[in-house]
Amino acid sequence: MNRVVYIISLLLLCNICAAQIKGLKPKRSAKDSIATGTLRAVVVGVSDYQNDQIPDLQYAHIDAEIFAEYLLSSKSGITNPEHLKLLTNEHATAGNFIAALYWLIEESNPGDEAIIYFSGHGDVESNLLSQPGFLLCWDSPHKVYMSGGTFGLTYLKEIVATLSALKETKVTVITDACRSGALAGEENEGSQTTASYLSQQFANEAKIMSCQPNEFALESAEWGNGRGIFSYYLVKGLKGLADADDDGTINLKEIQRYLEDNVSAAAAPHNQNPMTVGDRLTTVALTDRKVEPKSTLDDNTNMIIASTRNNESSAYQDTVIQKLIHAFNLAINQKILLYPTNKSAWHILEQLKEYEEFDSNIGLYQRNLAAALQDEAQQSINKYLEANSQELMRRWQFDDGYTDYPEYLRKAMQLLGEDHFYYNELKARAYYYEGLKLRLKGEQNYDTLMIIKSMAYQDSCLQIDSLAAFAFNEKAYASFVCKDYDNAEKYYNSTLAITPKWTLAWSNLCDLYNTTNQFEKAIAIGKKAIEIDANNSLAHYNLSDAYENNGDDSLQLVHLNKAYESDSNFTLVLNKFAYLAYQKEDYITSEKYWNKSFSLDSSDVLVNNNLGHLYLTTNRLEKSKFHFENIRKYRPNALEAYQGMIEYYYYSGDVENAEIELLSYVNNFPKDGFAYYLLASIYASKNENSRSLTYMQEAFKAGFDQLELLNDDPNMKELILSEEYILLSQRYFKE
C-alpha cells in the first residue's frame, strides 16, 4: 500500500495545533515514496462567495489557478489536462466539488497519485463535538453549514481513507483555509476547531500547515501581483527553489525549511510561521534543477484555465453523439434538468447511453447531472435559510419547484448509486423535501392529518442525519400549524442547539411566542434574531408584531419600517402597512400597499382577499368580485375563495348565488358555524323555517354562539320566537 502524503497549507484555517503522528511506521527512503502511476488532481479556489454575508477573499481563486498551472507544467505533475479538475468561484459549488472528488476515487488505481487542493474559507457552525468543521464552497449558506453548500471534514477524512486504503493511491491534500473573516464560528473559535480536526491524521500522511496556533495567514497584492503568501511560496518551493541539496527531489523537510525562511520573513511584522507534520523524507515534488525565481516562476494562468475547464471530448467521430453532448451541456447551463422531459439533460443522457462509443464517459456525465440536480435544490435551501422573502412566498404559494425538488434529489441518488459517500446525505434531504411538500399540500387543503403525516418524513431525515437543522425546523413549524405549541417550541430549541446563528429559526420562535401570548419572550427572541442579522426583514417583522402585542406602538413602527427598508417587496410587510391604514379608514394608503403586493404576486391569497374586502367596504363591487375570483383561479378550494364570493353575493343582494356558494362551502368546511348560520338566515328569509332550523342546529353544533348577531338579524325575527327554535337553543345554551 502506498503512503498518503497529506499537505495542509491552512492559509485560511488558522490557529492550528500540530497533531502528533500515532502508530509505528516503517522507514522509507525518499525514492520509495515517489508515486509511479498516473497523477490526478481536484483543485478548488473560492474568493467570491455567493452569499454576501460571507466575507469574500481576494486571491484564493488565483492561488488555485496558479497551483493548477504548476501541476500542468511540473516534471512530476499532470501530463494530460483531462486528469485535472479546476473549480473556481461560481463553478466551485458543493455539488461540483463532490462530483470531482468521486471522479478522483473512481479513476484512481494502485500506484497512482491524487491531489486535493482547496483554497477558501473553513469554519464550524457551533461548538458541538459532532461538527468537526466545513470547507465552505461557493454556494455555502451564511452560518447554517449543516444545510449544505459546504463540504464536511468527516467526508474529507473518508475520501482520504478510501483513496489510501482501498485504492492504494498516494494522496496529497492542500487546504488553503486560514485568512481572517467574520464567520459563524467566530465566537466558538471556528477556524481553530476546523484546523485542529484537519491536523489530525486521516491516514498515513504528511502535512504542511501555513501557520502556528493563534496566527492568521496573509494575502496581498504584494506577492505575485495578488496571492496568498503561503501558496505563493509553496508553488515557488515545489517548482525547485526548495531543493536545497540540488538532487532533483524536494522532500517534506526541504519544503518546510524553505517556507520557514521565506514566509515568516515576508509576513513580518505579522506572525506567520509554517509547520509540518509527518515523515520528513516524504517526496513532495521532482525538479530538473534548481530554477531561477524570475525566469520560470511567472504566474500566468490564462492558457491553463481554458484547458482545464474544458471537459468536452473531441474524440467522437459520430456527429450525433457530438450534438447530444452539446445539447446535454446546454440543458445543464439552462437548468433544464428533468423538465420539460424531451429537452431535459436527463432525457439526453438516456439517449447518449444507447451509444457504445459513449460508455467510457457515462460516469462523468452522470456525475455532472447529479451535481446540477443537487445544486438546484441547494439554492432553494439557501434562500430559505436566509428567510429570503421571495423564497418564503414561493413556499406559501406552493410553487411547482417544491414538487420537483424531491425528485431532483432522488434522481441524483440514482445517478450516483448507493455506494457513493454522499448518497445518504442526499437521501436525508429528499426525505426533508417530501415532508415539506406534504405539509404545504396539507396547509393548502386545510388537512391537519396530512400535516401531521408530513413529520414522519422529517423523522426519516433525522434518522440519517441527526444534525439536519432544517428538518427540526420543519417539524417545529408543522407542529406550530397544528397548534401543538409545546412540541413546536421543543423542536425550535433543537434547531437552535445545532444552528445557533440561524436567524430564521430565531424569528420562527419569536412568532411562536407571539402566537402563545408570551410577548416578553417574543421580544427577547426577536432581538436575538436581529442581533445575528440586522437586515433580515422577517426578523424585524416578527419583532414588530411582538412590540405591537406588548402595547408598544412606537417600537412596532420602528421595526416595521426596518423590515420595509430591508426588503420593500416583502408582501407580509406591505400587508401590515396596508392593514394599519385600513384600520384608520385610510383606504387610499391601504389600497396602494395592497396593490403593490398584488403587482409582485397576483396569485397571493392574502393580498387578493384583502383587496376584495377593501373594495366591498368602499362599494366597488366589481373590483371586489375580480379579486375573490382570482383566489378561486389559483386556489379553487381555498377557504378565502368561498368566503370572499359568499360575501360578495351577500353584499350585492344576490341571495341565490350566495346560497349556492354557502352550500358548497359547508360541504368542504363542515366545521364553520357562521356559514351554517348564514344558510339558516337565507332560508328564514324565504320562510323555509324547517331548513332554517336544520342549519341553525348545525351552526350550534359547530360552535356558533353569536346570539346577539342572530337576534338582530331581520331574517330571523320570526323564527327565533318559534317554539322549535326555543327548544333548539335551550339544548345548547342555559339562558
pLDDT (tens digit per residue) in 306-320: 333 444 544 566 688
- Judged against a pLDDT cut of 80, whether residue 366 lies above it is answered with yes
Question: By mean pLDDT, which of 65-69, 207-211, 413-417, 449-453 is the weakest?
Answer: 207-211
Which of 9-13, 393-397, 404-408, 527-531 is the least confident region?
Answer: 9-13
Distance CA 417, CA 389 (A): 35
What pLDDT was estimated at residue 289? Answer: 57
Q: Report the alpha-carbon angle 174-177-178, nearest 5.
A: 130
- Model confidence at 11: pLDDT above 50: no
Could you read off the pLDDT of 148-197 as tens digits, one per residue? Answer: 888 888 888 889 889 988 899 888 888 877 755 556 545 545 555 666 66
With b for 16 or more beta-carbon neighbours within 10 A and e for fewer, the 421-436 pattern comes to bbbebbbbbbbbbbbb
Four-CA torsion 689, 693, 696, 701, nearest 10 degrees: -170
The pLDDT value recorded for residue 18 is: 32
The whole-number average pLDDT for the span 489-503 is 92
Using alpha carbons, select from 400, 477, 483, 466 the residue that is nearest to residue 435: 477
Average pLDDT of the chain to the nearest whole number: 84
Extract the C-alpha cell encoding 360. 467510457
Q: Given this model, what pLDDT does residue 131 score?
A: 61
Quick one: average pLDDT of 642-667? 89
pLDDT of residue 301: 40
For 164, 204, 245, 254, 281, the CA distances from 29, given in Å and listed in that order, are: 19, 15, 15, 14, 7
On the question of pLDDT at 370 being above 90, the answer is yes
- pLDDT tops 90 at residue 400: no
Residue 576's pLDDT is 94
pLDDT bucket at 73, cuts 50 / 70 / 90: confident
Radius of gyration of the chain (CA): 32
Query: Please, which pLDDT band fits residue 201 given cuts at 50, 70 and 90?
Result: low
Q: What is the mean pLDDT of residues 138-153?
A: 84
Report which of 39, 27, 20 is spatially closest to residue 3, judged by C-alpha positions.
27
How far does CA 646 lie from the centroid of its chain?
Answer: 42
Instruction: With cut-offs at 50, 70 and 90, classify the pLDDT of residue 494.
Output: very high
Domains of the chain with bracketed CATH: 31-283 (3.40.50.1460), 502-567 (1.25.40.10), 590-732 (1.25.40.10)
What average pLDDT does range 470-474 have in this prediction? 93
Q: How far is it, in rounded angstroms, from Cα 564 to Cα 406?
A: 33
More confident residue, 360 or 2: 360
- Identity of the highest mean pLDDT range in 36-45, 194-203, 210-219: 36-45
Calpha distance 15→186 (Å, rounded):
12
Confidence of residue 294 (pLDDT cuts 50, 70, 90): very low
| 175 sits in which H/E element | strand 170-176
* pLDDT for position 630: 93
Between CA 50 and CA 39 the distance in angstroms is 31
For residues 39 and 290, which has the higher predicted lDDT (pLDDT)?
39
For 43, the 3-state DSSP assignment is strand
Query: Residue 441 is placed in which grid cell?
Result: 399540500
Share of the chain above pLDDT 90, in %: 47
pLDDT > 80? residue 55: yes
Q: What is the pLDDT of residue 398?
A: 62
> For the whole model, what pTM was predicted?
0.76
Which of 264-273, 398-407, 614-623, 682-691 shows the lowest mean pLDDT across its residues? 398-407
The closest alpha carbon to 273, from 213, 337, 330, belongs to 213
pLDDT(549) > 50: yes
SS3 for 475-511, per residue?
A: HHHHHHHCCCHHHHHHHHHHHHHHCCCCHHHHHHHHH
Q: Which residue has the cell 440586522?
A: 534
Mean pLDDT along residues 556-581: 94
Taking residues 320-335, report their average pLDDT.
91
pLDDT, position 187: 52
